[in-house]
Amino acid sequence: MRALRYRISPGRNSEAGVAAVEFAFLVPVLLGMFCGIVDISQMLYAYYQLDQAVAAGAQYAVLNAANVTSTSGASLASSIATVVENANGSAWANDTIVVNDGPTVTVTGGSASSSGTASNADSYYCLTGSQPSWTWGTGSTTQVTCSNGDTAGKYVTVSASYAYVPIVALPGVFSNTTLTESTAVRVQ
């Protein structure tokens, strides 16, 4: 009698089937949420690495402030670019270093190119604007007073970008993005 009652009772078998169907519906949603959380975490970590690389370049500029001259500016820009590039492995980010509106080093895909006018590194500037679009203004041979009341100085700008590719790209929601970070450091 007991065996017959177990076979006739529809409750136990149907509950197991419903749980399997519910699980099948929930798995894609949970996996999507998990991948999204992993993607956002990796993107935040990449941004943190980019921020740390720019900060390392800025710190190097401050420690070598005496090299912001027409004779040493190009080698300073190259050294700062190397610091930013090697902060998280070689050729992991693109960066641009500008020493006092003069010597400039741009690194793209691990390949560096130099530009800029070396003699500008000897001038003083009233740097205005916001990152990464600074306006240098007109150079002066002395530390004049700027229009905003500050005193003109010598600056090094460090800008970097990193192309982040998510694990699961969802157009319009979460897709490939370029992370950017930059700073301007007054060295004199």
pLDDT of residue 89 exceeding 90, the answer is no
- For residue 144, the tally of other CB atoms under 10 A from its CB is 12
Q: How far is CA 160 from CA 52, 89, 188, in A?
A: 11, 14, 23
Pick from 9-13, 41-45, 120-124: least confident = 9-13
pTM for the full predicted model: 0.80
Q: Residue 5 — pLDDT band, cuts 50, 70, 90?
A: low
Element (H, E) at 162: strand 155-164
Helix (H, G, I), strand (E, B) or coil at 116: coil
Domain count along the chain: 1
**What pLDDT is stored for residue 131 in this prediction?**
75
- Residue 38: domain span: 3-186
